[in-house]
Amino acid sequence: MGIPAPRPDLATTEAPTTPAAARPKRTNDAIRELLSKWGLLIGLAALPVYFGIHDLTGSQGDLSRLGENMVRGLSNGSIWALIAIGYTLVYGIIELINFAHGDVFMIGAFTAFSFTGTIGLTLVTGPLGLVFGLFLTLIITMMVTGSLNVMIERVAYRPLRGAPKLAPLITAVGFSFILQNVGLLWRGGSQKSVPDLIKHNDEVVNLLGVPINNGDVLAIGVTIPLVIVLTAFITRSKVGKAMRATAQDPDAARLQGINVDTTISLTFLIGGMMAGAAGLIYALYQTSVSFNMGFQAGLIAFTAAVMGGIGNLKGAVLGGLVIGVIQELADNRIGGQWVSAVVFGYLIMIMIFRPQGLIGEQTREAG
């Protein structure tokens, strides 16, 4: 299990918020129930099914283009999944939408980009050197973003723990702006192209007409081990147990002798490290970085976290992959300029049909 929804005592399973809940059931309610159960799934399946039929009946004749979209989508989605983990962990533990998280990811991509240059990885580096160099870059990037995230928590969120909920949200936005400007000063205002170290478009294998490229292998190959290690850490280790306890009830956790402040810092550390890994993958996979990419990445990843069920680790990964596929389909079929409109349209749909997310429990926020 992931981090459960916060405070079960307040997480009412049958929210008495709408007067409709108190009335006897009517057809209206039955339809609503049906929609909330299947509406989101139908909505999610709509895009691939539509384009699948379109391909089969049209000039394409087979599903290879759809398959390619899916593979690219899953690779992109693994980036969103890693960022979404940071959102979901932080939200699970202090109920804060960490708006600065997307920009931590951006700093991660910048760090990876710069560090590969510093240690002299170029297009002619041999495979062994490349793997070792990239591994070193991954470690460094994760350290940088992890400690950056911890620092942000210490400076901007911890002093406001007793303040109204809006206050840390505002400091989060403030830090998001600050980090964007750090990126701007560091690398300038234009988009920077990253050397294509891993030759991300070279085909590794061809699965039923769908090419799997180096980039996909990198994305999946970094994400899966990280997620497995993280899940094991949170479910098995003692510290992970402390994290889950703090997420459930900080006061009770403190009474049990858990150092809540350290646990929260640790959560930010893990979230930041995941964002750093995502930044590395992004830099090598998309081969371009810019100072303002964090904002949209953050929003997309947050959508992913909400879609999976915020506070839920598995949900964040699932949501990330789903959003990745939606995004790729929108990009490839509808047009790049509409991607965020489509993604946010889905976000609103989730909120209407299933605010608790795909596999999340009902939280008190989502009534």
Applying CB under 8 A, the residues found at the interface with another protein are: 16-19, 91, 95, 97, 155-156, 159-160, 163-171, 173-178, 180-182, 184-185, 189, 295, 299, 302-303, 306, 337-338, 340-341, 344-345, 347-348, 351-352, 355, 364-367
Nearer to another protein, 182 or 239 (CB): 182
Question: What are the phi and psi torsion angles at 151 (to 5°)?
Answer: -60, -45
Smallest gap from Cβ 84 to another protein, in A, equals 13
Nearer to another protein, 32 or 241 (CB): 32
Q: Which residues contact 256 (CB under 8 A, 6 or more apart)?
A: 245
Per DSSP, the three-state class of 225 is helix
Smallest gap from Cβ 7 to another protein, in A, equals 13
Nearer to another protein, 217 or 351 (CB): 351
Smallest gap from Cβ 359 to another protein, in A, equals 17
Question: What are the phi and psi torsion angles at 204 (to 5°)?
Answer: -95, -60
Q: Are the C-beta atoms of residues 326 and 341 closer than 8 Å to each other? A: no
DSSP state of 121: -
Nearer to another protein, 168 or 315 (CB): 168
Please choose, from the candidates 137, 36, 153, 144, the residue with its C-alpha nearest in 3D space to the C-alpha of residue 89.
Answer: 153
Nearer to another protein, 189 or 209 (CB): 189
Smallest gap from Cβ 155 to another protein, in A, equals 7
Nearer to another protein, 15 or 232 (CB): 15
Torsion region of 205: left, alpha or beta (phi above 0 gives left; psi -120 to 50 gives alpha): beta
Smallest gap from Cβ 101 to another protein, in A, equals 14
Q: Rounded CA gap, 74 and 123, in Å?
A: 26
Per DSSP, the three-state class of 328 is helix
Smallest gap from Cβ 76 to another protein, in A, equals 19
DSSP string, 177-207: HHHHHHHHHHH-SS-EEPP-TT-TTSEEEEE
